[in-house]
Structure 1
Amino acid sequence: MVMGWISAGAYEVALDDGGKVICRNAKGRQLKTVPAKIADDPAVIGLRQLTEWLERHQRECVATVERWMIRSLPVPTAALVELWPDTAWRAALRDLVITDSGGVVAGYLRDADPVRGLGLVDLDGDSVRITPEQIRVPHPVLLEDLGELRDFATELDLRQGVGQLHREVFRRTVEDPTAHSVDTYAGGVYQRFRFLAGRAVSHGYRVRGGQAVCPVFEDGGTVEARVWLGDAGYDEAETGPLSWTTAEGSALTLGEVGPVAWSEGMRMAADLYAGRDIKSSEERA
C-alpha cells in the first residue's frame, strides 16, 4: 500500500509501506530511484523528514513501553485506548502479556476500544473483552509460567513489538545473601577501554565513573546495577564484578536485590562479557 502521491516537478512522489520515498513519472511508471533533479524539491524533502520523524516516533514508542515493562508500571486502560489508533503505539503494544493490578495474567493484548474495552486472547485461547481501570505490562522474570506463555504465543503466531516474552531473564541463583557482588561475568578482556565502554553505550547502558550502570525501578525505588569497566586512561579493559546500589550509591547485599534488578543487572553483565576478546580472556584466566 502506498500513501497518496504528491507532485514534485514533472514527477509524483510518495512513501511506500517501508517508509521509503518512491517516485513515478508523468506516465505513471514507477522509477527505481528518485531522480537527482528533484532531490531538493520541497515534496521530497518533506517526505524524507516525515520518514525520519516516523522512525524516531517508532523508537520512542518501543522505548516507552519497554520502560513500563521494566518498571512493571500500572498503565490506565484509558491511555491504551487513546494510543491504540496510532500504528506505532499499536505495534509496540500488540500481543504483550498483561496482568491485573495483583499480577494475575489476563492474556495477550490484541485490541483497545473506547466502548468495548481491551481485547485479549486469554490463557485458554479464547478472545475476550475486559474493562479494568488499569493493567500492568510485567517484566518477564515476574511471570512464573514464562515458558508456557512463550510456547502458547508461538502456537498462536503472536509477534511482540517489544521483547517481553523472549527477553533474556536471569532468575536468582543460590548466592550468599550477605555478599555484595557477583563475578559470573567478570574477567572479559577488551583490547581497548573505548571498545568496552562503546558496547555498554550501544546496548543502552550508562557509563559513569568507570562503570556501566543500569538503573531499575522496583518496589517503589530505584536500584542501580553496576559493572566495573576500568580506567579510561588505560588501553586494555576488563569487565569487573556486578554489584547493586541504591540511587544514592549505598551498596546493597545480594539478599536486598529484587528479581527485576537482579535479572536486568545479570543481563547487562552478560551483554558486556559476550563482546570480550575471547583469546585475551582465555590467556588471562
Structure 2
Amino acid sequence: MGWVSAGEGYEVALMEGRVAARATAGRSAGRRLKSLPKALRDHPEVERLRRFGEWLDRHAAACVAQVDAWMVSSLPVPTGLLGRVWADEAWRSSLHDLAVVGDDPDEVGFLRDANESGELRVVDLDGETVRLSPRTVLLPHPVLLPDLDDLREFAAELGVTQRVEQIYRATWDKPADDELDAKATTVGEFSGGRFASRFGLAARATSLGYRVSGGYATCRVRDGGAAVEASVWIGEPYWDGETETGGLSWHDPDGRTLRLREVGPVAWSEGMRMASTLHAGRTVEEGGAS
C-alpha cells in the first residue's frame, strides 16, 4: 500500500499490519520513522489506516477459518472459485501448499497456484510441477490421506508450510470396531483434567476455536457426507468454581448419541483433538499430573 499525506511534513502507510510514518521534509525526508509522531496519533488518515488494518486482520482470519472448514469436512471446492480468490493475499496464504486431490483420489499434490479458468499448479509426490483442471478438488483431512507419514516426510523435504493445519495436524486413528465395546458411547481418555474455574476452561475452549454450548465444548464436522458434533463436558454453565473435563461423545443432527462404532474417522480424530487440547491446559501439580 502506498504512502499518503498526513498533514504538513508527514506521510503514512500501512506496513506489516501497523501504521508507519515518514517525514517529507528536513534531514529525515523519505526515511521511515521508528515510531508514530505524537502529532499524527489522532490524525484522520492514521485512524483510517488503523481501521483498514483491523479489517484486513479479520478478513485473513475469516479466510483461514473457511479453508479449515473445507479441509476438516473434506468438502469438494470448485477450482474456478480457487482461481477467483487466489489474487487475494489472505486467501492465497490460506490455500498455498495445502494438499489437494483432483479426479484421481490416489494423486495428491501441494497447491502452488490457481487461475480463474480453473487450472491448478501443484507439486506432485515425485517433486514434479504439474497442471490440473478438475471441476472440483478436495482438501482432504489428514486422516483420509494415504501414507500420511511418508507425505509428512516429503512435505518437510519440499519445505512445505501451511497456514491452515493439514499435513502436520494432530490426528487420532479410530480403533477397529472389534476393539470397541459395541454399546460404548463415550471416550474417557481425556476426562478428569482439573481446572481452577469453569470460566477458565470455557475461555480456553473458545480461544481454540471451539463452541461452548450449555455445559459442553463442541465442534461440528462433516464426515462421510453427514454432520456430526463432538462434545466434551466442561461443567455447569453458571458455576465458576473448580471443574474437570468430562467424557467425549458424538451426536447426530437430531441429538442422538452415536455409539463409538458409528463414528467416522474424521469425526473421531477431530473430537479426540478437541478433548486432548482442552485437557492439555489442566492444572498440573508439582511431581505429577492432574
Q: Aligned-pair RMSD on alpha carbons?
A: 1.8
CA 1:53–1:106 in structure 2 vs 1: closer, same or farther (change >3 Å)?
same
- The offset of 1:234, in angstroms, is 5.5
- Deviation track 1:4-23 (CA, whole Å, cap 9, x = no partner) reads 2100002011122x122111
TM-score, length-scaled by structure 1: 0.93
Of 28-37 and 272-281, more deviation after overlay is shown by 272-281
Q: Which residue of 2 aligns with 1:151?
A: 153
Identity, in percent, stands at: 48
Query: Structure 2-normalised TM-score?
Result: 0.92
Q: Does structure 1 conserve the Cα–Cα contact (< 8 Å) formed by 2:118 and 2:134?
A: no
Does the CA contact (< 8 Å) of 2:220 and 2:229 recur in 1?
yes
CA distance, structure 2, for counterparts of residue 190 and residue 204 of structure 1: 19
For the residue of structure 1 that corresponds to 2:285, the secondary structure is: helix
* Structure 2 unaligned regions, length at least 5: none
Q: Which contiguous aligned blocks of 4+ residues in structure 1 show a shift greater than 4 angstroms? A: 280-284
Per the alignment, in what secondary structure is the counterpart of residue 250 of structure 2? Answer: strand
What is the distance in 2 between the residues matched to 1:102 and 1:219?
Answer: 18
**Alignment equivalent of 1:90, drawn from 74, 89, 92:** 92
Structure 2 residue aligned with 1:24: 22
Rounded Cα–Cα distance in structure 1 between residues aligned with 2:37 and 2:289? 56
Q: Does the 8 A contact of 1:196 with 1:229 survive in 2?
A: yes
Q: Which amino acid aligns with 1:237?
A: T
- Structure 1 residue 247: Cα displacement: 2.0
Structure 2 counterparts to residues 36-75 of structure 1, below 5 A: 36-75=38-77
**Structure 1 unpaired stretches of 5+:** none
Shift in Å at residue 271 of structure 1?
Answer: 0.8
Aligned ranges 1:72-151 → 2 under 5 Å: 72-100=74-102, 103-115=105-117, 117-151=119-153
Contact kept, 8 Å, 1:101 with 1:136, in 2: the verdict is: no
Cα distance, 1:283 vs. partner? 8.2
| Structure 2 SS opposite 1:149 | helix
Quote how far apart the aligned CAs of 1:28 are. Answer: 1.9
- The range that moved more, 132-141 or 166-175, is 166-175
Q: How many pairs are equivalent? A: 281
State the partner residue of 1:224: 229
CA–CA distance in structure 2, aligned partners of residues 68 and 115 of structure 1: 21
